Amino acid sequence: MSIITNKEVLLNNARTSRSRRAREAVLGALEAALESSDPYRLILDHVRRSGSRLVVDSESLDLDDFKCVYVIGGGKAGGAMAEALETLLGDRITGGLVNVLENTGSRYRTTRVVLNEAGHPIPTEDGLEGARRMLEIAERASGEDLIICLISGGGSAMMTVPREGVDIEDKQSVTRLLLHAGADIGELNTVRKHLSTFKGGWLAKKAEPATVLSLILSDVIGSPLDTIASGPTAPDNTTYRDAVQVLHKFGLWDQVSSSVRETLEMGLRGHLPETPKPGETAFLKVKNIVIGDNRRACLAAKKNLVEQGFNAQFLTSYLKGEARQAGLLLASIACEIISSGNPVSKPAAVIVGGETTVTVTGRGIGGRNQEVALSAATAISRTDGVSFASIGTDGIDGPTDAAGAIVDGMTVARAQEINLDCWRFLKENDSYSFFSELKDLVITGATGSNVNDVAVLCVV
Amino acid sequence: MSIITNKEVLLNNARTSRSRRAREAVLGALEAALESSDPYRLILDHVRRSGSRLVVDSESLDLDDFKCVYVIGGGKAGGAMAEALETLLGDRITGGLVNVLENTGSRYRTTRVVLNEAGHPIPTEDGLEGARRMLEIAERASGEDLIICLISGGGSAMMTVPREGVDIEDKQSVTRLLLHAGADIGELNTVRKHLSTFKGGWLAKKAEPATVLSLILSDVIGSPLDTIASGPTAPDNTTYRDAVQVLHKFGLWDQVSSSVRETLEMGLRGHLPETPKPGETAFLKVKNIVIGDNRRACLAAKKNLVEQGFNAQFLTSYLKGEARQAGLLLASIACEIISSGNPVSKPAAVIVGGETTVTVTGRGIGGRNQEVALSAATAISRTDGVSFASIGTDGIDGPTDAAGAIVDGMTVARAQEINLDCWRFLKENDSYSFFSELKDLVITGATGSNVNDVAVLCVV
């Protein structure tokens, strides 16, 4: 069965053979992107065992150098990653514990690694307990041991251990206040890392002198190691001073709980240790390896399109900004391809990745990917042989059951036939209702992975 | 002297040698784009005289086949185009008249072609009179004559001849009402063409059976022949019915003057002729040749960058949407180039053209190009060797004396040093004040041409 479960419907919605070909190419490329970001496959693709050697991309370790091999970590892809790793290493794994999403533990089969269920996005006591046990494993490990750490999106909430004196509600309340005030992910993490004993490199610090190999599936644009799951095994560049300044910047210093203020003030006065910094010995034996991210998914889509005979161009994995504007811009490239064969000649494909945002002003139902697609549809109207789709690689675009949507040059006309006005749906942020009517939602179900969004444009 | 008159200042604003190299490449490419869209040069580049033959791109005419050669037309570049054509054809030109911008007639030297001053954007009586005389020349011309028509941006206002019974104020008022109601250029032209005896192919129709060669400098994205200067020598696909529907769609039917309503109703009842349609004999001897437009300017920038040793990519000449969003998107490509060498490896350049818009919510001074640049600056902050600039090819960005602005990875930091907050200036739509302080405005003066906007990103 196809990864996109309604693929036949989407192909049959094409009005011309050229549009059908374009749709087919787009959907094939998106399936390649989804396949490439499957966590189970990613482990098997990136990690090889050759005799006693464990090879991960360009890194290589000799398992015979280690007495014990522990597997810890967590995130939405934790279960699949742990299962795949057991398939590879079997009883060479001494033991370990990985936090997986609530109500999904039974989906994965492991015998050596305990799968512990943790809440998301609100941390649960079980999740905390699991993370504490990971810290114990790390602290107990000796210089002759190897710790393999599996990190994926959602790990921040699923592996949380507040500093002594700060309780979990206090930490959550800071997070909420900062998000509401408009803090970016960097500012948010600056504060959170200084209230944690797990994030901001602490896990790596506690594992010293063991060897640490972190295998990371990134859900953050640009894959900064210190940001994915708040960087438990990555050095932190921020300080207590920075954390305090962030709270002052947003006028929140007096609104956070006294335990948060006291902790940060103690840190500021040097009574609490700083997060581990770049260059510290704690990181000498730590390898952080990103095995899956948006760029890799985009490149998998590109490879697929090249195999389909397309002149394919991968533009960026840093796409951000307002969804409908991104749609216009991608459509503007379609127009240029049609008119002049720039930047690539037909059959042409353009791939972009990242994550847009939607400023909601209407009362409809939609997601950022569906809104990108709807906006693009208005700007490629009346072309033939052009198709565009955008999806969230987790299979869930906004509060909907679709991964995204697909459009072509006849989408606007097909909508008009059944009295749907694209511009009105766009205005109401009602992309889901629009594509439901046209049966052009891209449906995959939850994929168990997340490497942000991928969009593909094809012109045949 | 450089086309960009403050080029040295802009180069000296670089903080590192890599940034300076990036700025130098960007400015060199923009100068190439401006040079390529100079109307005088465009005529000399595209039109060649070889003995009795007149060669324009792939078209070729034998001047000996014609008794008289008339030169008519108008637009902001009319004077420069007419002067260049006289340089080429000299006394082979029988005579003619071209409408040029008010107060600029004395800048150009012609002896055969009368330069008649016309108002813009509000049509003047002199402009009307000039356009009427062009129609007379067209009507008098025989099958043995050649009419060379010079068309450029602004021509719609500068060559207007309302239908009998509709006065110029009525026509202007319809234009204003439609623009205010949100009609697009297509809808606007549908109405205007049906109130004109010059636009919408009428000039070509009146010139029948003469041969007509239209040399067109396009200020419309995508260069649709029926839209540039409202297409005086291009067939029109729209009808009286369409024009009436447009007015009804925007609820303006009862608001326009009775002369407009009566004219459209007479047309609807078949009592007035339709605009000339594709396939009509009127166009058998008409050649419309676009000699300059945004794409050509972008390609000139690309050529320059390739000569500078850059891996250059021309993405689109159809850029539209909100200026600050376009800035983010272009910056996202810069990030990808830095991280992975996609879509092109360093030294890398990306060129885009088109025309963005600014939704004004603040009270500052700025232009769309300056706002694109300011937004891009926020997203390339802390990089080295990245520079980006966006300019209007007419040299006038919004209500300012700058063509646009240039930024690099240190723009935000330089601003912070003098206590300028980028985000505040962006929020206030105050890009001009921001770049004035940093002395990073790109200054060219009015160029006498207009092929929309060109933006260049370089990463070294």
Give the C-alpha separation, B12 to B9, whole Å: 5
Of A315, A322, A340, which is closest to B333 when you measure between CB atoms? A315
Contacts of A342 in chain B (CB under 8 A): 295, 314-316
CA distance B330 to chain A (A): 9
Query: Which pTM was predicted?
Result: 0.90
Are A426 and A371 in contact, with CB atoms under 8 Å apart?
A: yes
The position carrying tokens 């206090």 is A170
Nearest CA in chain B to A313: B343
Three-state secondary-structure class, residue A111: coil
A313 and B343 in contact by Cβ < 8 A?
yes
Pick from A54, A118, A47: nearest CA to A83 = A47
Contacts of B320 in chain A (CB under 8 A): 328, 332, 379
Nearest CA in chain A to B324: A321
Pick from A243, A161, A153, A154: nearest CA to A198 = A161
Contacts of B328 in chain A (CB under 8 A): 320-321
Q: Which amino acid is at B428?
A: E
Pick from A367, A291, A281: nearest CA to A324 = A367
Please return the burial class of B180, using the count of CB atoms within 10 Å of its CB with bins 0-12, 13-18 and 19+.
exposed
- Determine which of A290, A315, A338 to mutate to test the interface with B (most B C-beta atoms within 10 Å): A315
Cis (ω within 30 of 0) for the bond into B209?
Answer: yes
pLDDT of residue B3: 95
pLDDT category, A183, cuts 50, 70, 90? confident
CA distance B132 to chain A (A): 35
CA distance B395 to chain A (A): 24
CA distance B335 to chain A (A): 7
Q: State the maximum Cα–Cα separation within chain B, in Å, rounded to a whole number.
A: 71
Number of helices and strands in chain A (H, E): 17, 15
Contacts of B455 in chain A (CB under 8 A): none
The position carrying tokens 């000799």 is A62
A295 and B340 in contact by Cβ < 8 A?
yes
pLDDT of residue A186: 84
Residues in chain A: 460
CA distance A429 to chain B (A): 17
Give the C-alpha separation, B145 to B167, whole Å: 32
Give the C-alpha separation, A9 to B121, whole Å: 51
Q: Are strands B286-292 and B211-217 parallel, antiparallel or unpaired?
A: parallel
Give the C-alpha separation, A270 to A295, whole Å: 40
CA distance A327 to chain B (A): 10
Average pLDDT over residues A46-53: 92
Of A316, A332, A354, which is closest to B320 when you measure between CB atoms? A332
Average pLDDT over residues A113-135: 93
Average pLDDT over residues A260-265: 95
Are A454 and A16 in contact, with CB atoms under 8 Å apart?
A: no
Are A381 and A15 in contact, with CB atoms under 8 Å apart?
A: no
Nearest CA in chain B to A322: B325
Mean per-residue pLDDT of chain A: 95
Cis (ω within 30 of 0) for the bond into A121?
Answer: yes
Provide block-wise average pLDDT over 10 residues at a time, chain B (460 residues). Answer: 93 97 98 96 94 92 96 95 96 96 91 95 91 97 97 91 90 88 85 94 97 95 90 96 93 94 95 95 95 97 98 97 95 97 97 94 95 96 96 93 97 96 94 98 93 97
Query: Could you tell me which residues of chain A have a Cβ less than 8 Å from any Cβ in chain B?
Result: 222, 295, 313-322, 325-326, 328-329, 331-333, 335-336, 339-340, 342-343, 354, 379
A407-419: per-residue pLDDT in tens? Answer: 999 999 999 999 9
Contacts of A313 in chain B (CB under 8 A): 343
Pick from A134, A252, A137, A125: nearest CA to A187 = A252
Pick from A313, A305, A299: nearest CA to A342 = A313
Domains along chain A? 7-36+295-459 (3.40.1480.10), 39-161+196-238+275-292 (3.40.50.10180)
B317 and A340 in contact by Cβ < 8 A?
yes
- Measured in degrees and rounded to the nearest 5, phi and psi for residue B265 equal -65, -40
| A-B contacts (CB, under 8 Å) | 93
Contacts of A343 in chain B (CB under 8 A): 313-316, 343
Whether the per-residue pLDDT at A265 is higher than 80: the answer is yes
CA distance A339 to chain B (A): 8
Rounded to the nearest 5 degrees, what angle is found at the Cα of A362, between the Cα atoms of A359 and A363?
120
Of A222, A335, A343, which is closest to B339 when you measure between CB atoms? A222
Please return the burial class of B286, using the count of CB atoms within 10 Å of its CB with bins 0-12, 13-18 and 19+.
buried
Nearest CA in chain A to B313: A343
pLDDT category, A442, cuts 50, 70, 90? very high
Question: A318 Cβ partners below 8 Å, 6+ apart?
Answer: A221, A222, A354, B331, B332, B333, B335, B336, B339
A388-402: per-residue pLDDT in tens? Answer: 999 999 999 989 999
Give the C-alpha separation, B415 to B430, whole Å: 14
Contacts of A336 in chain B (CB under 8 A): 295, 314-318
The position carrying tokens 């998000």 is A179
Contacts of B317 in chain A (CB under 8 A): 336, 339-340
CA distance A342 to chain B (A): 6
Query: Could you tell me which residues of chain B have a Cβ less than 8 Å from any Cβ in chain A?
Result: 222, 295, 313-322, 325-326, 328-329, 331-333, 335-336, 339-340, 342-343, 354, 379
Are B344 and B312 in contact, with CB atoms under 8 Å apart?
A: yes
pLDDT of residue B330: 96
B329 and A325 in contact by Cβ < 8 A?
yes
A189-207: per-residue pLDDT in tens? Answer: 999 999 999 999 999 999 9
Q: What is the DSSP string of B422-455?
A: HHHHHHTT-HHHHHHHHT-EE-----S----EEE
Contacts of B319 in chain A (CB under 8 A): 329, 332
Give the C-alpha separation, B230 to A165, whole Å: 73
A336 and B325 in contact by Cβ < 8 A?
no
The position carrying tokens 């996109």 is A4
Burial B75-93 (b: 16+ CB within 10 A, else e): bbbbbbbbbbbbeebeebb
Q: What is the DSSP string of B155-203?
A: HHHHS--BPTT--HHHHHHHHHHHHHHT--HHHHHHHHHTTBSSTTTHH
Give the C-alpha separation, A46 to A217, whole Å: 11
Q: What is the DSSP string of B358-390?
A: ----SS----HHHHHHHHHHHHSTT-SSEEEEE
Question: DSSP state, B322?
Answer: B
End-to-end CA gap in chain A: 26
Give the C-alpha separation, A47 to A59, whole Å: 10
Distances (CA, A) of A400 to A7, A360, A367, A369, A430: 18, 15, 7, 11, 11
Are B297 and B353 in contact, with CB atoms under 8 Å apart?
A: yes
Burial A18-29 (b: 16+ CB within 10 A, else e): bbbbbbbbbbbb
Are B458 and B383 in contact, with CB atoms under 8 Å apart?
A: no
Of A316, A331, A332, which is closest to B336 when you measure between CB atoms? A316
Of B316, B328, B379, which is closest to A332 when you measure between CB atoms? B316
- Determine which of B225, B293, B322, B336 to mutate to test the interface with A (most A C-beta atoms within 10 Å): B336
- Determine which of B237, B298, B332, B333 to mutate to test the interface with A (most A C-beta atoms within 10 Å): B332
Are A435 and A428 in contact, with CB atoms under 8 Å apart?
A: no
CA distance A134 to chain B (A): 33
CA distance B458 to chain A (A): 15
pLDDT of residue B388: 98
B321 and A333 in contact by Cβ < 8 A?
no
pLDDT of residue A329: 94
DSSP lists the bridge partners of residue B49 as: B54
Nearest CA in chain A to B344: A315
A319 and B332 in contact by Cβ < 8 A?
yes
CA distance A331 to chain B (A): 9
Are A105 and A117 in contact, with CB atoms under 8 Å apart?
A: yes
